[in-house]
């Protein structure tokens, strides 16, 4: 039932005739050397970017396919059946090249490698444009740049998001009328207006992945948050997707 529900959401069909389901925590199957960098869903699958592995699961977290990928795979988003991933080849060496890699959502086949003149981290798509958080020039910038880009990755506008971070905006999503910028920062998550004015800083950390899910029965906006879990015994990483609700202006776990 949940798979049907999410598929209808992503197809843009009316949901007024369906009961709103409670979102549940989803455990991604398996453990991986790198930590979760971002995740996305097309309504049929969830895609988990684990730095050196790209994992495709069903909506219950069971592996459909996984492929090794070059380091380092970062945040990702889905557009028209394709998965777009921010990639920093060669990281953490000094000579790093930055790309957007495009995968087929059904097969995970690599379709295209798009070079980026400037590095990117968080990536999302909204209203016909990509929004990519620019890799900062310093490790701990006081402000972060977001580039608005056409579908063929031409920059048309730049926005500045204030706030001291480590490595910039790591994960990024348009959801429920706001941009959600996940940052390695004491301020955690910046909830921004469409023109990137920071509306508030939310305590829940979405820096390892975020995407929109349908609202609660009461109409409260919800997002799905990727949470990395490190196993100190195996020294490997797993991840869960946890639903969070925007309730009275504050993001709280459902």
User: Which of 100, 82, 75, 29 minimizes the C-alpha distance to 184?
Assistant: 75
**What is the Rg, in whole angstroms, of the alpha carbon atoms belonging to the chain?**
17
Query: What are 64-123's pLDDT values in tens digits?
Result: 999 999 999 999 999 999 999 999 998 877 788 999 999 999 999 999 999 998 888 899
- Domains along the chain with CATH numbers: 2-9+25-253 (2.120.10.30)
List the chain residues with pLDDT less than 70: 1-22
Q: What is the pTM of this model?
A: 0.90
Query: What are 216-226's pLDDT values in tens digits?
Result: 999 999 999 99
Token pair for residue 116?
A: 């980026």
Query: What are 60-70's pLDDT values in tens digits?
Result: 999 999 999 99
User: Which of 71, 77, 78, 68 minimizes the C-alpha distance to 92?
Assistant: 71
Backbone dihedral angles phi then psi of residue 121, each to the nearest 5 degrees: -125, -100
pLDDT, residue 76, reads: 98
The number of helix segments (H) and strand segments (E) in the chain equals 1, 20
């Amino acid at each position: 039932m949940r798979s049907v529900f999410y598929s209808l959401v992503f197809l843009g069909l009316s949901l007024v005739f369906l009961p709103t389901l409670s979102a549940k925590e989803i455990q991604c199957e398996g453990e991986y050397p790198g930590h979760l960098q971002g995740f996305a869903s097309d309504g049929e699958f969830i895609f988990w970017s684990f730095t050196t592995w790209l994992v495709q699961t069903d909506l219950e977290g069971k592996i459909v396919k996984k492929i090794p990928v070059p380091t380092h795979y970062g945040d990702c988003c889905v557009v028209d059946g394709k998965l777009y991933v921010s990639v920093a080849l060669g990281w953490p060496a000094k000579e790093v090249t930055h790309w957007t890699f495009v995968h087929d959502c059904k097969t995970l086949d690599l379709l295209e490698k798009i070079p980026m003149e400037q590095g990117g981290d968080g990536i999302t798509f909204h209203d016909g444009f990509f929004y990519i958080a620019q890799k900062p020039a310093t490790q701990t910038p006081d402000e972060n740049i977001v580039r608005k880009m056409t579908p063929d990755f031409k920059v048309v506008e730049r926005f500045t998001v204030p706030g001291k971070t480590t490595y910039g905006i790591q994960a990024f999503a348009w959801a429920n009328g706001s941009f959600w910028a996940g940052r390695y920062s004491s301020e955690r998550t910046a909830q921004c207006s469409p023109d990137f004015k920071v509306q508030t800083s939310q305590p829940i950390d979405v820096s390892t992945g975020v995407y929109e899910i349908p609202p609660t029965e009461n109409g409260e906006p919800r997002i799905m948050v990727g949470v990395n879990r490190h196993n100190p015994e195996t020294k490997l990483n797993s991840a869960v997707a946890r639903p969070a609700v925007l309730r009275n202006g504050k993001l709280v776990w459902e």
